[in-house]
Amino acid sequence: MFNRSIKYILLLIVNIIVLFALFHNQSKQTNDPIDTEYVIEILQNQERLNRSIQELTEQLQSSRELVSQTQTQLENTQVTINRSEQKLLACEAEKFAQIENAR
């Protein structure tokens, strides 16, 4: 869902840039109906945006993997804490039992 949102936002930005450039170029009419420099610039912008989308996708995947690893570590830590707590309670119970037996 996040990837799709980024793609749509980037496509919206490209559309806004294209529309702005079209309105801007209407005031500068030339004999050539297709401005090759403008088309080249749009293609370059599209390539840059595609690269940005790819990089963001990779970063998102990396972040998801880190979240998964961190969650696993937290679960393992919780299990260790629970075991230690049970051992501590058993030790305290044994300590009190020995104190009672010593009396």
Domain borders along the chain are 2-102
Amino acid, single-letter form, for residue 59: Q
The vertex-77 CA angle with 73 and 82, nearest 5°, equals: 150
The half-sphere exposure of 36 on its side-chain side, counting CA atoms within 13 A, is 1
Q: Which of 12, 72, 14 is nearest to 41 (CA)?
A: 14
7 and 53 in contact (C-beta within 8 Å)?
A: yes
Which residue did the predictor score with more confidence, 38 or 70? 70
Quick one: three-class SS letters along 70-88? HHHHHHHHHHHHHHHHHHH
What's the pLDDT at 76?
96
Please, which residues have CB within 8 angstroms of residue 3's CB and are 6 or more apart in sequence? 56, 57, 60
pLDDT in tens, 5-28: 888 888 888 888 888 888 777 665
Q: What is the CA radius of gyration of the chain?
A: 32
User: Mean of the per-residue pLDDT values for the chain?
Assistant: 86
